A and B are shown apart, each in its own frame.
Chain A
């Protein structure tokens, strides 16, 4: 018997909105990855999404693109990242996801990648350019063998039929992209988006949803959490990482302010 995935446990137990924060690996400095994870956890984050940097991140806007480039220029690779995360589970107890693009995973080797994920304690993966059909035919068996969840995205343009398919294939949660955009392109939540959120809520999906893209502060986090199990913050946090003079304290403060603990 395999033990319950940390993501599933979290959603079963959660009593308040779930905060998932994205941080680019090896950013702002190559050696900062674990420091960032620790500070996020100390601040009270519920899920951490570590970005594996890629040279051509088409789903990402300028902020995350730039952090990816800086990280790559500092020498980050998938192999280095696993090295940095080797002892992660001695201290990090929250669920951790890896987010990135399919090509670096292919070059590392899909099976080797999943094996490493399991070794260091990664709970799930988000690969926006790995489509569902491809996942089902080529990857699903390997992912499941290593207990990894593959998180799928839906957008305002995703049809009901496809959402039902995503729901059937999903484990953990569904990543609900708040608007038609790349990351960091728009902020806030409009009435049109709320109509979309309502439509999804009316579908009685078996998986909980987290809303991402355009969530940047306490207000938008609270607003999004009214329509889902919680929300995901990416660009706004990466911006902070790029500017802060006091990494640990500023991260803790950021998370606390989003969670309303300060």
Chain B
């Protein structure tokens, strides 16, 4: 059955999506578009993917009841523990899937972009696993603020290339990865790290991440006697962990979908990455979506303390969820995210990624009832952010 918030045959979610790519990328994207559904439906593909998710990634990830936070907010809060995935975040669900697709397309080299470095690490990891060459573009600024992940990628054998153009962050790393693909069209597959890019990427990445909500359903049934929560909360950079956590609840009216965007120093401070609040429809990186831009259509350089949310766009699925009101979007500031990271650490014994901390900062705003059930997608762990935490929380003073 076709779900109404899913992509249509033309690659659109409502008015958002499509494939706005230069002709140089058309053959590759068209090959992917015409084949991805058949490839991922093959029994042999499914088996290889499921086996790797179980034995390499460590799935299913647990659904953990956060008892002390539940008591504090007088409701029932569960964490979907994507932080326990191999490499420390949900990103690997997608890279495992895409590298198996790349193999079937006959590609032997991989290019990727990365912001926080989590997607870069997850890509370098599967490339090592499959013996494929790996080039990761990363903004020069992000290379500095996510040094541990740069070291991990290099240890895994990947080549990390600094993107020196524009804002030197995720947007520019994505430009450079696309340029690399234009210059290397035959042997290379581009593993995009979120539900962005030209169709079919947003849908393909959402499908690979949808294992998150699939597991939530069966785990909740076991723990709460029902297979849907009242709320699912996820942070949104490009939107892949949110897409995965929302996927099987998109057409479940009893579940409210809650998205946390990075409001940086405040939504209207001029230093923010809260795209649904500040963006207008536009085209970036191959799809039409909401985009932070000037009146002249130039992309605005966003800001967030969190490298993984520091992106001026948002996946077309989420633009549609926002416009239709199907999901509620909250802007979470740097300070609110840092507070939430501390709260989660000291009350539940889990240091979350800075990106994830944004999702942990909206409990107050929900006013959930005592008998309601919230699932927060704990998209990643905070190891990579320790230096930012040290600096802002004065942990070593």
Contact = CB atoms under 8 A, between A and B. Distances in A.
Contacts of B166: 55-56, 69
Interface in A143-194: 152-155, 157-159, 162, 177, 180-182, 185
Contact of B22 (A54, A107, A129): A129
A88 interface: no
Given A103-B291, A128-B22, A157 B296 contact: no
Given A102-B283, A106-B282, A56 B175 contact: yes
A129 B24 contact: no
A77 interface: yes
B183 A56 contact: no
Contacts of A56: 166, 171-172, 175, 284-285, 299
Interface stretch (B13-21, B77-85, B148-156, B354-362): B13-21
Contact of A129 (B21, B185, B280): B21
Contacts of B283: 101-103, 106, 129
A240 B22 CA distance: 26
B104 interface: no
B394 to A, nearest CB: 37
A155 B30 CA distance: 14
Contacts of A185: 183
Contact of A155 (B24, B165, B175): B24
Nearest to A166: B23
A232 B290 CA distance: 34
Contact of B185 (A61, A128, A134, A157): A157
Interface string B39-74: 000000000000000000000000000000000000
A79 interface: yes
Contacts of A129: 20-22, 283, 286
Contact of B296 (A78, A159, A180): A78
Contacts of A58: 22, 175, 178-179, 182, 285
Interface size class of A (residues with CB under 8 A): 35 or more
Q: Which label, helix, strand, loop or mixed, suits the secondary structure of the B interface?
A: mixed
Contacts of B165: 65, 69
A59 interface: yes
Given A55-B299, A77-B296, A180-B24, A134 B179 contact: no
B297 A107 contact: yes
A177 B27 CA distance: 14
Contacts of B284: 56, 103
B186 interface: yes
A103 B297 contact: yes
B22 A78 contact: no
A79 B23 CA distance: 27
Contact of B20 (A134, A152, A158): A134
A108 B297 contact: yes
A104 interface: yes
Given A72-B298, A129-B283, A131-B20, A180 B293 contact: no
Interface in A59-93: 59, 61, 65, 69, 72, 77-79
B144 to A, nearest CB: 21
B184 A158 contact: no
Given A78-B296, A157-B185, A59 B20 contact: no
Nearest to B288: A106
A247 interface: no
A201 B26 CA distance: 22
A59 B182 contact: yes
B24 A177 contact: yes
A103 B171 CA distance: 15
Given A56-B166, A155-B24, A61 B18 contact: no
A58 B23 CA distance: 12
A81 to B, nearest CB: 10
B395 interface: no
Contacts of A181: 24, 182-183
A182 B179 contact: yes
B23 A128 contact: yes
B1 interface: no
Contacts of B184: 180
Interface in B284-331: 284-286, 291, 293, 295-299
A157 B27 contact: yes
Contact of A182 (B18, B183, B281): B183
**Top 8 closest pairs, chain A to chain B, by CB:** A107-B297, A104-B297, A128-B22, A77-B296, A153-B23, A55-B298, A59-B22, A157-B27
Interface of A: 54-56, 58-59, 61, 65, 69, 72, 77-79, 101-108, 128-131, 134, 152-155, 157-159, 162, 177, 180-182, 185
Given A102-B20, A128-B23, 18 more contacts: A56-B284, A58-B182, A59-B24, A59-B182, A65-B165, A69-B166, A79-B296, A101-B283, A103-B282, A103-B293, A104-B297, A131-B23, A154-B23, A155-B23, A158-B27, A180-B186, A182-B179, A182-B183
